[in-house]
Each structure stands twice: as structure tokens, then as C-alpha cells.
Chains A and B, each alone.
Chain A
Amino acid sequence: SKLSSVFSLSLSLYPVIELNHHVISVVPESGLLIILGFILGGIVWGADKAQTFKLLPPTFFYYLLPQIILDASYFMPNKLFFSNLGSILIYAIFGTCWNAATVGLSLWGCYEAGVMGNLDIGLLQFLLFGSLIAAVDPVAVIAVFEEVHVNEVLFILVFGESLLNDGVTVVLYNVFDAFVALGGPRIDAEEIFKGIFSFVVVAFGGSFLGVVFAVLLSLLTRCTKHIQIIEAGFVFVVGYLAYLTADMLSLSAILSVTFCGICCQKYVNANMDEKSVTTVRHAMKVLANGSETMIFVFLGITAIDTEIWVWNTGFILLTLLFVFIYRIIGVFLLTWMLNKFRLVPIEVIDQVVMSYGGLRGAVAYGLAAMLDKDKIPEKNLIISTTLIVVYFTVILQGITMKPLVQWLKVKRAAHADLKLIEKLNNRAFDHILSAVEDICGRIGDNWWTRGWNRFEENYISWLLMKPKARKNRDYLFSIFHKLNLEDAVNYVSEGERQGSLAFIRSDEVANVDFKKQFGSEFTDVMPDIMVDMSNYELGIENFSVTSIVKDTIPSVSLDIHGKDRKNVADDINAHHLLQQHLYRSRKNHRHKFSRSHFSINQSEDEVQEIFQRTMRSRLESFKSAKMGVNPAKKITKHHKKDLTHKVKDFHDASFTWIAQLYKGSVTIKMNPVFLPAMDSPTHSSLPWLMETDAVAPSQRAQWRLLWTPNRLRRLAPMRVSTCSTDSFLMADLEEHEEKPQTDHEEEIFQSGPPKKHSCRKFH
């Protein structure tokens, strides 16, 4: 009840903060929430004369933290994470140990030197304090880095470190807690050895448990075809279960949830229905945001409590100092070592940001609050200090982080006024270097990674993914599918703008429901689309249809043209345009993780755009190479799943080039959009290359592709399943040749132009 009231109160004040963008851009949200907490705490204090709202450790650790970690791990960019895993582990393990040891020992040294006055505290307790204050906090890191956009690698290093250091923190905390209980004299080598051993057990045990639950979750989602409505719930339930189980077994709960999320995301997203995926994402974000808000508010509220405050200037100031300094030293030292081994070294500016970004947060406070008062008499001092450190890092460092990053970057890359050709060259050289790097083989291209990918593809995916999902794994296919969806939506909305969808609902043929036409095998793959299939039926020769088509083409194209013409009148600043729109090279891409947005970020859009373009131009070159020469050999599907067919070895460069491009293997996975039907040169089968003698669409319109029913041909059905002998494919068995194919690959076929399909399929 207290929790819910604070929750609703803070959430309702959330929009108020949001409205004030000026404030947000300077002070990070988390800082504002803490201040809000102060206010609320003050109100409660004023009313009750005692702090009735407290952040109790169990509340924090069991109700508020798990969903944040689950959110972080579920949306973790896996490829980036694993390629930097070595560095992340070094920072997490050695960095945290370093921080704990140095802070603890330095404080003890200062205490012995008498700076702090009289305290009932010993070396072990200092070390215990060091271990709980050492850990970089994931919640705080997310909160602050979200608003400061740094490059991917830097982000993943700090973020990954903050997640993985929990293993170390838990161990150190428990070890020193036990040591404190034992008392000084009884600690010997055996105990220390037990401590190290327990680290191994806790960390690896926690991670392993997380993986186990990830497997469980994937299997569950694999089997939920008929109960899709509750799929989404499984993610949360199993995720939380992972957390609780690990905690119950005294393993690292955060690590458990982290690895559960990281490992399951791919399979769960593939297995679940799209609606469930969306549900999970939204719900996850809501929960995580809500929890984070509450945590920070509570952190503020708990400050307004006279009971806990014990002020010891020396202790507090020294702690702040040491925490800050040793973080910097630790980061620079470790990075120096790492750069000898890393393929892409971490630059100085990144190291600065990394050290400055070592934020402490609620986890430290939670651990401090869990201390046993009897064993550690100075508990309140520790809590006070922890709170001060948290406020300092979150508020102060949070506020100054963004200006610091900007200042450093500006200082580094001061350019004089460059000519356009220079700007163009700069970017071109970036791209060239990325390309050469890729040609020479980069980080991901060693034997281990390839071996793992192969293993994963063949065995793990087989186990954990739905068969349908496995077929759709194809990268190209998924882009194609996305494009289709986009185009379909655009097509309909464009049509609606024209007045009515009458031209769709032509009276020639009834609306075609894909489901009915092509069987249920397609429904999982293709969206439900109401499409005028009449031109498939009757071809372009049918005048009535063509007239409708012709009527629509001009209007749509002209419309686009008109929009273009309006812009010409504006004064075009070439420099500005160039700056804005040049594609960014790989190293300039932004990080993808965000608390509040999970939509595709601009980089991914750009990458997709480039990818599409490259594919189109390759196809065009292929087409021009093939035109008038030999028609491409047709591929048809085989009839039984276990027949091994191999696609005939096409020595035509472009053709196999396209086919192999995304598998990189000899076996060819045909994606029909790239498989032009070449039975005769007169059929311009590639929809976007089809000539219409209507108004020539502007280049932009062409790029935008399919505005007309004609061009919806691209949505022509693709064969995905292998099992049944589908009638419409049988239709084109005229010139087929049986091609062998290897076992593992399923084939996607298309044969002949759509026109031929229609002849037989509707019966």
C-alpha cells in the first residue's frame, strides 16, 4: 500500500517533469527524481515527524530491482556484448575488486592516521564498506547514459560492467560479512581460499542458472502456439523465477536474470507471435521505468530521516575522494592493459567518460541497509555515506556528464571550415576503412565465433526455436517482410488519401484473402492483405484493370513529384545538407539501448536503407547481365522434405553472389524477390524495374517502390514451407529441373511470373 501510493504519486508527477524539457536536458531525470524524493520525504516527515516511508532492502531487492535488470538484459545488444565480453569481464571483476580493496584500505589507513576521529570500526568493516560502495550501479548508469549519447562500445563496456559486477559485489559483500562475523584473528588462508571459491560458485552458478531458465523460457514459448495470449506473461514469470531461484540458492541473482534475458531474447522473439513480442516490450519498459522512478524517489525520501544521519566529515569526504580517484586510476590501468589485447583500442576520451561514468546507486544503498547493526555498530554512518556518494554521483556527475562529453569531443575534433569535397572524403574514407576492415576480417571473424555460430544454428536453434521461426531467421527475409509490411501500410494509407480504396476493391475479382488463397502456411509469413489480384489473373492486357491502374499511377506519382517540386524553391544549403544526410560509418553509430524507446534507431534505418539499395543495384546489374542471354534456370521446390536437393551451381557471378550473400555458404537459400522469373525477357519481372508508360515517377518515388497495385507483385507469395505440394507451384513445373540441396537448408522457391500462378491456383 505504501509502495503503491508512492508509485502512483511519483508516476503522476512524472509528466510534470517531462513537460519541462529545459530542466531535463540539464539535470538527468534520475537527479530530478531524487530531488522529488526529497520533497516528498519532507512532506511525509512534516506530517508524521518520522519517516514512515522507507526503502526497505527486501522491497528493493525483490520488487524493484529484478524488472530493471530483466529489461536491461532483454534489450541488450547481444553481438556487441559478446564481442566485448572479455573487456567487460576484466572491468567487472578486476575493476570492482580494485575499487573495493583500494577504497577500503585507504579509508582504513586514514582512520588509523586519526583523520576520522573515534569510530568503532575495524579493517574488515572498512573492507566491507569498500565492497559495497565499489560496485557501479546498472540503474544509475542506464539513467544517466541514456541521455548522454556515447558510442556503442563505450556504452556496452560501462553497462556490461555494471551488470556483471554484481557477481563480484555479492561475493565480496558476503565474504566480508562472514569475516566480520568471524572476527579478525580467525581468518586464515583457508577462509580466503573459501572466499575465492565462493566467487567462482556464485558467479558461474548464477550465470548458469540464468542460462537454464533461458532455455526453459525458450522451450515454453516454442510450445505456445495455441495459447498465444499468455505467452507474454511467461517472460516475466520465468525471468522473475530466475531471480528468486538464484537468490534462494545464494547465488548471484542479478547475474541470473542478466543471462536469462540475454540468452532468451533471440529465441523468444522468434517464437512468439508479433503481438506478444510487442506486449512484452511495452510491458517490460513500463515496469522498468516505473521501478526506476520509484527507486530514485525512494532514495530521495530516505534521506529525510533524522534517525539515520551520522555525520563524520572525514569519513564522508574521504570516501567521495577515494571513490572518485580510484575509479579513474582503475579504469586507466585496466584499459592500458586491455588495449594491448583488444582489436579496437579504447581511446582516452572513452576512458575518461568511463571513469566519470562509474555511478553508484541504489544497489549500494540496499546493501548498506542490509548490514547487521550488531555486528557493525557504525551502520548509520555507512548508510549516510552511501547515500551521499549516491547523490553525488547521480546528481552531480549526472549533470556534468553531458557537458563533459561535449566539451571533450569538441576539443578533440575542432575542424576548420571544410570544403564540401573534404567532408565527403572524410566520410568516404570512413566507409572505405570499414569496408577494408570487413574484407580483412574483423573481430567476429575468427574460428571460434564461426564455429559457435554454426553450432548455434544447427543444434540450439533446432531445439529452442519453432520450426517456422527457424525458417524465417533469414536476415534478408526479415527485411523483405518488414518492407512488405511498410509498403502495404503505405499503400493503403495512400489509397485512402486519394479518396477511397475503390481501386483496390475492383469488381473484377473479389478481394483476395491470402489466407484462403494460399493456405495457412503463408499466414504466419505474410500479412493479411486485401489486394486486387485481378492483374495477377488477367495480366496487363486487361484494359479495365489497367485503366484503373493507369489512373492511379499518375496521381500517386505526380503527387510525389509535386512534393518534390515544392522543396526546390527553398534555398538549399549544400553544406548543411551534406552534414545532415551522409550515411554514418559503423564506428559512428549510436548505441541501441534506451530505457524509453525501443524503436529502431536511426542507425539501423540507415543500415537497412543502404542494404536495400545495395541489393537493388546488384539485382539490376545481374538483370542487365542476364537480359537477352540465357534465361535463368528455374528452381522448383521438391516434394518431400527429406529429398536432398542442391541448387545447381550457377556460375553466373551476380546470381550466386546474391544468393550466397547472406549465408556465406555454398548452399543457396533462395529468396524469391531476388529470383527474377526469366522465362522471357519481355516480362519485366522485377516489379520495381517494370516500365509503365504513365508519368515516370520521380526517382524518389521509384525508390519508394510500390505505390501501385501492379507493383504489389512484390508481395507475391513466397514459398516458405516445404511440406505440401502446393498447387500453384505445381503449375510451373514445365521447365523445371530438379536441383539437389543439402539437408539443413530449406528452400524458398518461386517459379515463373505471378501471371502463371493464377491460372491454376484458384480452383
Chain B
Amino acid sequence: MGSTNSTLLKIPNVEVLMQETGFSPAHIIRLHDRFKALDKEGRGHLCPHDFGAIKELAMNPIGDRIIGAFFSPGKETVDFHTFVKILAHFRPVDKDRPKEPNSPEPINSRSNKLKFAFQLYDQDKDGKISRDELLQVLRAMLGMQVTDEQLESIADRTIQEADLDRDDTISFEEFRKACKHKRFTMFRFCIRPGERKLMLTLCHWSSELQDQHEL
């Protein structure tokens, strides 16, 4: 449609974006609309307080961490490209993707999804989840009734179960192994018939066995 194309043209480097992320033009447009809606002052990039304005995120125990995931270390703003790239993590895995040996791994590969989740735990980005970091996450996700001692014992137990090389931290490999049995069926973006709207559906984690299609 004419309007679709014109909107697309307004977004810089949109082809590269679509190539990298795998989103269709309609998805990009939808996300762009959303980006503009969030960016109330029309600056062309998002700041933490734009995310903070989303009330539901304040009611999410790890909402602030997720907001932080959008901002690369040192950067204070998120532009549209980064925004879309981060959200691309949540696309469903492309099962029919031809495996080219030289092309970079797609953003929504299982491994990258796991990395995203891992980085939410690992705030100092050293590649390992230390006991302290784990404590912080646990504190955020558990109710107030849990005392500190209980929290520490849970953290200790968690590390004990997942840590294989006995270094008292959980590395990415150990994390990945621990999540072996889960299938990451995350967001499924679909287009509502006849309209430009994006229908977001949420697929639940299923406890099926490891998917052979994935890496």
C-alpha cells in the first residue's frame, strides 16, 4: 500500500533493519508507531523515563532490569534501530532458516534469547552470575515475606544445583545447560487480517523435550 511504503521510507536504513531482525515491513511500521508513541517529546530516541512512563513496567519485579537491557552500557538513549533489534530477540525461532555457515547467528536464535535472559541476571556483564547478582534477582522476584537468611539459602542452593565447575558462579554454559529442557516459544507477531495492526500473542513455555531444529 502506498501509505505503508511512505512510512517505511521515512525510517532510515529500514532494509538493513529488516534483514538483520527478520521483521516484516508491517511489523516494522507497527513498532515504529509504538516507538513514536513512547517518545512523547519527539526526540527520535528513548530515554529511561520514557520506559518508566509505562505504568505496567513498574509493577513488574524485573521491569527495571529489562528497561536497562535496552540501553547499551554507557549509552543514555535508545534509537529506533536498537529498539527493534532488542525486540527481535522475541521473535519466534525461524525453523526453516537455511544454515549458512558464514552468516551471523540471527538475533532470535535460541542461543541469543538465552543470552538476553542471562544478561538480565548478569548485571556487571562479566559473563558469570555471581552469588550477589543471584541474590539481587531473587530479592526482586520473591515476596517480602522471605527473610534474608532464607534468601541466601535459596541462592546457595541454586548455585549448588546449577554450578558444574564449582567456581561458585553460574556461567553462560551452565545456564544454558540448566535450561536445556525448555523450549523458547516466545512472541509470535502476526498481522490481524485486513488491518495494519499487530496481533501479539504470547506462547507459554512448554516443557517439551529439546527441539531438534534449534542449534
Contacts and interface: CB of A to CB of B under 8 A. Distances in A.
Interface of A: 340-341, 343-345, 413-416, 419-422, 424-442, 445-446, 475, 564, 567-568, 572, 574-575, 577-578, 581-583, 585-587, 606-607, 609-611, 613-615, 617-618, 653-654, 656-658, 660-666, 698-700, 703
A428 B69 CA distance: 14
A5 B10 CA distance: 76
Contact of A436 (B61, B161, B187, B193): B187
Interface string B177-215: 011011000110000110001111110010100000000
A564 B149 contact: yes
A577 B193 contact: no
A492 B173 CA distance: 52
B214 to A, nearest CB: 16
Question: Closest 4 CB pairs between A and B?
Answer: A657-B49, A574-B157, A657-B52, A438-B56
B58 A661 contact: yes
Nearest to B184: A429
A610 B59 contact: yes
A660 B117 contact: no
A413 B208 CA distance: 10
Contacts of B192: 341
A653 B207 contact: no
Nearest to A436: B90
Contacts of A442: 200
Helix, strand, loop or mixed for chain A's interface?
A: helix
A416 B40 CA distance: 47
A745 B147 CA distance: 41
Contacts of B56: 434-435, 438, 586
A614 B63 contact: yes
A440 B60 contact: no
B175 interface: yes
B66 A432 contact: yes
Interface string B77-99: 00000000001001000000000
A623 to B, nearest CB: 15
Given A343-B200, A581-B145, A431 B61 contact: yes
A439 B201 contact: no
Nearest to B154: A574
Contacts of B150: 567, 572, 577
A340 B158 CA distance: 42
Contacts of B16: none
27 contacts: A419-B158, A419-B162, A420-B161, A420-B162, A422-B179, A427-B141, A431-B60, A431-B61, A432-B66, A432-B117, A439-B38, A439-B54, A441-B34, A442-B200, A446-B197, A567-B147, A568-B149, A574-B153, A577-B150, A581-B142, A610-B58, A618-B64, A653-B76, A654-B49, A656-B49, A661-B53, A662-B58
Given A340-B193, A427-B141, A666-B40, A439 B55 contact: no
B49 A606 contact: no
Contact of A421 (B90, B141, B158): B158
B175 A421 contact: yes
Contact of A431 (B40, B62, B197): B62
Interface in B39-58: 40-41, 47-49, 51-58
B138 interface: yes
Contacts of B105: none
A398 to B, nearest CB: 29
B66 A666 contact: no
A420 B57 contact: no
Interface of B: 31, 34, 37-38, 40-41, 47-49, 51-64, 66, 76, 87, 90, 117, 120-121, 137-138, 140-150, 153-154, 157-158, 161-162, 170, 175, 178-179, 181-182, 186-187, 192-193, 197-202, 205, 207
Nearest to A699: B148
Contacts of B40: 664-666
Given A583-B142, A665-B40, A432 B52 contact: no
Contacts of B182: 422, 425-426
A614 B144 CA distance: 13
Contacts of A653: 47-49, 76
B93 to A, nearest CB: 15
B31 A440 contact: yes
B49 A435 contact: no
A419 B61 CA distance: 21
B54 A700 contact: no
B201 A344 contact: yes
Contacts of A574: 153-154, 157-158
A670 to B, nearest CB: 15
Contacts of B60: 431, 434-435, 438, 585, 610, 614
A398 B189 CA distance: 39
A427 B40 CA distance: 32
A446 B33 CA distance: 11
A343 B201 contact: yes
A424 B205 CA distance: 13
A582 B144 CA distance: 10
Given A435-B66, A614-B64, A660 B141 contact: no
A441 B179 CA distance: 28
Contacts of B59: 607, 610-611, 614
Contacts of A613: 61, 140
A699 B135 CA distance: 13
B98 to A, nearest CB: 28
A581 B141 CA distance: 8
Given A426-B182, A445-B37, 12 more contacts: A422-B178, A426-B205, A428-B141, A429-B117, A433-B187, A435-B60, A439-B57, A440-B87, A572-B149, A610-B59, A614-B60, A664-B53
A432 B170 contact: no
Given A609-B143, A610-B59, A421 B48 contact: no
A429 B205 contact: yes
A578 B154 contact: yes
B147 A610 contact: no
